[in-house]
A = this chain, B = another copy of it.
Amino acid sequence: MTQDYYQYPRHLVAVDCIIFGFDGENLKILLVERNFEPKMGEWSLMGGFIGDNETSDEAAQRVLNTLTGLENIYLEQLNCYTEIHREPTARIMSISYYALINIEKNIQINEKYSAKWFDLQNFPTLIFDHNEMVKDAVLRLRRRASTRPIGFELLSEKFTMKDLQNLYEAIFNEQYDKRNFISKINALDILIKTEEKDMTSSKKGSYLYRFDEDKYKKKLAEGFMFKI
């Protein structure tokens, strides 16, 4: 006996991307203005349907690449939303992904889409269940950021301690003591202090650091746990 697949319904399945960025002070989210019905003109997450010859991960990368031109973006699958009437015109399941991108690298946003960075503390109401998706994504971002060194995806290759602290303060929406934060980071021992200084923020200048990915991986293999 072989199972007959023709008796089972088939579904439209999309991906929707929650794209996070960081401008040095605040967490940002990249939204697009819909240029088709339904809900044309309203703000939404960037999304697209999953094709026959791509996985959902690939679909999400494709969607992001179409919008930003970037490749190999940090991307993680979140949830699958399957409410029957989550979209009014058809039953569409959607797998949400969150992406972390460095705003500075992201020079050219495809003009075909009216996309805009919004402050995560203050962005418009989105279509369908996209607000729920964003809420879930923020929670996941916080969880991940506390146990994995994903914050560096949001920064440039070189950054100051102040940048890093600002980033974590934005992610967790909390203020930290400078001395405690720095000694915590130094205790992790996964940064390289360069000889260079960032002179834009002060007269003294502040040292630039890089994330030492090789060292991190080595320590991981030895049982090290990132924790912040």
Chain A interface residues toward B at CB < 8 A: 1-3, 5, 8-13, 35-38, 40, 49-57, 77, 79-80, 82-84, 89-93, 95
How many angstroms between the C-alpha atoms of A183 and B9 in the bound complex? 53
How many angstroms between the C-alpha atoms of A54 and B9 in the bound complex? 11
Q: What residues of B have a CB within 8 angstroms of the CB of A55 in the complex?
A: 82-84
Minimum CB–CB distance for A53 against chain B, Å: 7
How many angstroms between the C-alpha atoms of A77 and B32 in the bound complex? 28
Please state if A5 and B82 are interface contacts (CB–CB under 8 Å): no
How many angstroms between the C-alpha atoms of A1 and B77 in the bound complex? 30
Beyond A3-B89, A57-B82, 4 extra complex contacts between A and B, CB < 8 Å: A10-B10, A10-B12, A77-B80, A82-B95
Name the residue in A37, A56, A79, A82 with the highest tally of chain B Cβ atoms < 10 Å from its Cβ.
A82
Please state if A56 and B38 are interface contacts (CB–CB under 8 Å): no
Q: What residues of B have a CB within 8 angstroms of the CB of A49 in the complex?
A: 8-9
Minimum CB–CB distance for A74 against chain B, Å: 17
How many angstroms between the C-alpha atoms of A95 and B81 in the bound complex? 10
Minimum CB–CB distance for A76 against chain B, Å: 10
Q: What residues of B have a CB within 8 angstroms of the CB of A56 in the complex?
A: 80, 82, 93
Q: What residues of B have a CB within 8 angstroms of the CB of A54 in the complex?
A: 84
Identity of the chain B residue whose Cβ is nearest the Cβ of A9 in the assembled complex: B52
How many angstroms between the C-alpha atoms of A54 and B55 in the bound complex? 23
How many angstroms between the C-alpha atoms of A16 and B217 in the bound complex? 33
A10-B10, A11-B10, A11-B13 known; A2 vs B52 contact (CB < 8 Å): no
Minimum CB–CB distance for A54 against chain B, Å: 8
Q: What residues of B have a CB within 8 angstroms of the CB of A9 in the complex?
A: 49-52
Please state if B84 and A36 are interface contacts (CB–CB under 8 Å): no
Please state if A13 and B93 are interface contacts (CB–CB under 8 Å): yes
Q: What residues of B have a CB within 8 angstroms of the CB of A13 in the complex?
A: 10-11, 13, 93
What are 19 A-B pairs at a CB distance below 8 A? A1-B37, A2-B36, A2-B89, A5-B12, A5-B92, A8-B12, A9-B50, A9-B51, A10-B11, A10-B13, A11-B11, A11-B12, A11-B50, A13-B93, A50-B82, A53-B84, A55-B83, A56-B80, A56-B82
